[in-house]
């Protein structure tokens, strides 16, 4: 409560889904002592839910306003968001953002800017909406080694997978339904191609392991080529297809990262994460396994995470990035392998994919539901052929966890000792 003091004056940049959600939450809780005193948007002609005089159209005016105590940046343009956030930090300001694509591409610069200028940046809303995963990793687990951080970080693709699983429908109708319900964008490629959860994995790597990855270094495979056949085959094994983003500590201490569809069984808490929800499993060395589940998007859930950041900044909180000084090596492609399931309706295309992935022709199996293949492939090879696989429409899903490559003639136990 902030009853005796002036309210904290907030400049809000962006008044779309998240901006309006945040504004509404602040308005419903006057006791918090917060006031959104200025709002910047882009289009003068757009109809608004507030009087026209509440809006300005130059976000730079808010950056230059000394009467604002804090800025909330929730626009949909990553390049402009980076310009605004980095300018504000350079001037030592306190900023909250939700822009995961911008953060994933610029995190090292933004951390350096904060250290140089005394500014502060929080971004809980950028990963898994309402789930407090960043602060949990950054603060609570700041000094605990983590074996893995993995989860469902994209509500849109999870909604599509859930609808396919529940209705036995094909990808196209399930995607159309997700778009009609507001759970998927008109251009679904960032979500369905697993680019969005890749950005989130990159952000979490900085807090979970002190590792700063470039998004393009991380393998991401999506669900654009999934079919009802894949869902049915997973179900026949008692499993579901989920897009799992994962950061994994390898036996040699280095960290691997990737985002792909995966056949997930009921032994994993991710099996029960349905619809537009997100879930994160943290496997900690001493604390054991923890699971967080919640809404990954939407005005109020995301606005709630923005509010939590605003209040944290007010109380002087900053991310510690405590593991940065002892960050492990990363091992993103080389020396790693995983067992995969592959499918394409055309056996000839699948046969060609097997050659790309260095799998034997005998891996191909044709049953009543059409061609499929399974085998162990190197992540390096998957990485090399990822664009061809995407372009050819081959659906790829992990069947197990990523592991160090087992050299021929060496037992898995011996290989683990060697890395």
The whole-angstrom separation of Cα 191 and Cα 224 is 10
Among 398, 67, 172, 140, smallest CA distance to 292 is for 140
Among 102, 99, 98, 93, smallest CA distance to 120 is for 93
287 strand-pairing partners: none
Looking at the Cβ atoms of 43 and 325, the one nearer to ligand NAP is 43
End-to-end Cα spacing for the chain? 53
Among 216, 206, 5, 218, smallest CA distance to 108 is for 206
The whole-angstrom separation of Cα 20 and Cα 12 is 10
Least Å from the CB of residue 227 to ligand NAP:
28
DSSP H/E element including 159 = helix 155-167
Looking at the Cβ atoms of 17 and 310, the one nearer to ligand NAP is 17
Q: Could you tell me the two tokens for 149?
A: 């951080």
Least Å from the CB of residue 285 to ligand NAP:
30
Alpha-carbon dihedral sign for residues 90, 92, 93, 94: positive
Looking at the Cβ atoms of 61 and 144, the one nearer to ligand NAP is 61
Q: What SS3 state is found at 144?
A: coil
Least Å from the CB of residue 364 to ligand NAP:
40
Question: What secondary structure does DSSP assign to 5-16, as a single string?
Answer: SPPEEEEEE--S
Looking at the Cβ atoms of 210 and 303, the one nearer to ligand NAP is 303
Phi-psi region of 316 (alpha: psi -120 to 50; beta: other; left: phi over 0): left
Least Å from the CB of residue 93 to ligand NAP:
16
Looking at the Cβ atoms of 74 and 281, the one nearer to ligand NAP is 74
Residue with smallest beta-carbon separation from ligand NAP:
16
- The 3 state secondary structure assigned to 291-308 is EEEEECCCHHHHHHHHHH
Do 299 and 368 meet the contact criterion of CB atoms below 8 Å apart?
Answer: no
Least Å from the CB of residue 293 to ligand NAP:
16
Least Å from the CB of residue 37 to ligand NAP:
16
Do 194 and 154 meet the contact criterion of CB atoms below 8 Å apart?
Answer: yes
Residues noted as catalytic: 200
Least Å from the CB of residue 59 to ligand NAP:
4
List interacting residues with ligand NAP (CB under 6 A): 13-19, 40-43, 46, 59, 74-77, 80, 98-100, 125-126, 129, 297-298, 302
Looking at the Cβ atoms of 37 and 378, the one nearer to ligand NAP is 37
Count Cβ atoms below 10 Å from residue 176 Cβ, excluding itself: 15
Looking at the Cβ atoms of 101 and 357, the one nearer to ligand NAP is 101
């Amino acid at each position: 409560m902030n009853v005796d003091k002036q309210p904290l004056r907030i400049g809000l940049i962006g008044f779309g889904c998240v901006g309006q959600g945040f504004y509404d939450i602040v308005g419903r809780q006057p006791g918090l002592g917060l006031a959104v005193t200025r709002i910047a948007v882009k289009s003068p002609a757009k109809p608004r839910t507030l009087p026209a005089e509440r809006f300005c159209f130059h976000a730079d005016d808010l950056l230059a306003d000394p009467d604002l105590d804090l800025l909330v940046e929730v626009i949909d343009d990553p390049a402009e968001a980076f310009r605004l956030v980095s300018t504000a930090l350079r001037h030592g300001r306190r900023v909250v953002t939700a822009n995961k694509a911008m953060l994933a591409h610029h995190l090292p610069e933004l951390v350096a800017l904060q250290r140089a200028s005394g500014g502060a940046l929080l971004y809980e809303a950028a990963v898994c909406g309402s789930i407090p995963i960043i602060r949990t990793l950054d603060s609570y687990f700041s000094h605990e080694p983590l074996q893995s951080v993995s989860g469902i970080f994209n509500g849109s693709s999870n909604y599509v997978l859930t609808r396919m699983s529940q209705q036995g429908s094909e990808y196209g109708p399930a995607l159309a339904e997700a778009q009609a319900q507001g759970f998927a964008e008109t251009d679904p490629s960032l979500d369905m191609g697993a680019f969005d959860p890749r950005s989130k994995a990159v952000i979490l790597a900085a807090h979970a392991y002190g590792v700063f990855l470039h998004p393009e270094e991380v393998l991401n495979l999506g669900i654009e080529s999934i079919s009802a056949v894949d869902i049915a085959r997973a179900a026949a094994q008692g499993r579901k297809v989920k897009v799992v983003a994962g950061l994994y500590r390898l036996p040699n201490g280095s960290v691997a990262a990737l985002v792909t569809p995966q056949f997930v069984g009921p032994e994993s808490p991710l099996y029960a994460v349905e619809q537009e929800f997100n879930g994160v499993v943290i496997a900690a060395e001493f604390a054991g396994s923890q699971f967080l589940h919640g809404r990954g998007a939407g005005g109020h859930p995301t606005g709630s995470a923005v509010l939590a950041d605003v209040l944290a900044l007010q109380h002087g909180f900053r991310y510690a990035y405590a593991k940065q000084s002892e960050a492990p090596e990363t091992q993103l492609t080389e020396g790693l392998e995983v067992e995969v399931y592959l499918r394409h309706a055309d056996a000839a295309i699948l046969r060609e994919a097997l050659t790309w992935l260095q799998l034997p022709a005998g891996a191909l199996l044709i049953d009543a539901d059409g061609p499929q293949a399974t085998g162990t492939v190197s992540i390096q090879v998957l990485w090399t052929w990822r664009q061809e696989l995407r372009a050819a429409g081959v659906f790829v899903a992990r069947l197990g966890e990523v592991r160090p490559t087992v050299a021929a003639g060496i037992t898995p136990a011996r290989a683990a000792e060697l890395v």
